Amino acid sequence: MELLELRYFVQVADLGSFSKASVKLGITQPALSRQVQKLEHELRTSLFYRHGRGVSLTQQGRKLYDVVRHLLGALSEIKEEIQDQSERLTGTVTLGLPPSICATLGAPLARRFHENYPDATLRIHEVFSGTLLEWVEGGRLDLAVLYDARRGRSMLSSPLLVESLQLVQSAKDAAAGDDGPVGVEMLADLHFVLPGLENGLRRVVDAAVRRADIDLQVDMEIDSVTAIKQLVEEGMGSTILPFGAVHREVRQGRLIAREIMSKDMHAMLVTATPLHQPVSKATRALLRLIHVEVVKCVANGVLKGKVVAPGSAGEDTVL
């Protein structure tokens, strides 16, 4: 069996017609028929039922199809992977990250990208999700990781991570052993320091407490994760953030992070690219690195949430 014959066979099976397959493949129908007949002769069986509407796979044809489709898919993937690794990528990739995730992913991504693709340049902007959305739609960024809190008009979005939001408080003010999960109703008794209303995470939090019929007491609104963490550490209030934004402070014993027991206190991180702008090889390489790094961070406990595998339902959604 030759690879060309197998590709022709799969194309005919996919389209259910020799005539349609010949047009798509750019060869004559008699030439295509000869290639498939050659394959049938070698296997000593009929691969297709011929009927008035076209062709359908026989039982033996279906067995071959299932194997060959998997084989061709694997060959395509390994070809792209080898090409990306062997070709020296050049050019510049501009990536946008929200502050809550940049402290976790920014440096590792920059280091790994430089090690793997020394002839390409990675530029990282740390910006809140609302601005990232505008920059992606305007083509100012090649790629962004942002919170899917509202829909845009002109970008492709792929789910990356469903993060569990945490109640973050000063370790000095917390009672000994007071680091377990907290019910969402307890949030009504606390004072908060949160990002402003245009922040993607803030919109997620506000929507969750509305569904729980709770009014948060927000004393300060600050569009700086660094400043929010500092104020919380000083005992100026509590905040709600993903664990990745505070994992260092928690490990150092300066802050505590408690899971909020609410199905609504989760934020979807997505990767986004401009809809009307071609995705370069360097951008695709960076996308793969982002998925690898996120999986590693979840496994190490630096991020808390559920990774969405590439190719899962919802990927490449036009927003």
Q: Domain spans of the chain?
A: 3-86, 90-319
Q: Any bridge partners for residue 126, and if so which?
A: 97
| pLDDT value, residue 178 | 66
User: What number of other Cβ atoms are within 10 A of residue 96's Cβ?
Assistant: 25
Rounded Cα gap, residues 197 and 77, in angstroms:
43
> Can 3-86 and 90-319 be said to share one CATH topology?
no
DSSP assignment of the chain equals --HHHHHHHHHHHHHT-HHHHHHHHTS-HHHHHHHHHHHHHHHTS--EEEETTEEEE-HHHHHHHHHHHHHHHHHHHHHHHHHHHHS---EEEEEEE-HHHHHHHHHHHHHHHHHH-TTEEEEEEE--HHHHHHHHHTTS-SEEEEE-SS--SSEEEEEEEEEEEEEEEETTTSPTT--S-EEGGGGGGSEEEE--TTSHHHHHHHHHHHHTT---EEEEE-S-HHHHHHHHHTTS-BEEEEGGGTHHHHHTTSEEEEEEE-TT-EEEEEEEEETTSPPPHHHHHHHHHHHHHHHHHHHTTSS-EEEPPTT-TTTTEE-
With contact defined as beta carbons under 8 Å apart, do 276 and 154 qualify? Answer: yes
DSSP assignment of 231-245 equals HHHTTS-BEEEEGGG
What number is the average pLDDT over the span 115-126? 91
CATH architecture for residues 90-319: 3-Layer(aba) Sandwich (3.40)
Q: Any bridge partners for residue 192, and if so which?
A: 218, 238
Q: Lowest-confidence range among 115-129, 148-162, 182-196, 229-243?
A: 148-162
pLDDT digits (tens, 9 = 90+) for 65-92: 888 887 887 777 676 666 655 557 788 8
Is the pLDDT at 315 greater than 70? The verdict is: no
| pLDDT value, residue 85 | 59
User: Which pLDDT band holds residue 317 (cuts at 50, 70, 90)?
Assistant: very low
Q: Lowest-confidence range among 138-142, 177-181, 204-208?
A: 177-181
CATH 1.10.10.10 corresponds to the domain 3-86:
yes
User: Measuring CA to CA, which residue among 265, 305, 291 is closest to residue 158?
Assistant: 291
Q: What is the average pLDDT value for the chain, to the nearest integer?
A: 85
pTM: 0.64
What number is the average pLDDT over the span 200-216? 88
Q: Token pair of 193, please?
A: 């320091």
Is the pLDDT at 197 greater than 60? The verdict is: yes
pLDDT digits (tens, 9 = 90+) for 262-276: 888 888 888 999 877
Q: Report the chain's C-alpha Rg in angstroms.
A: 26
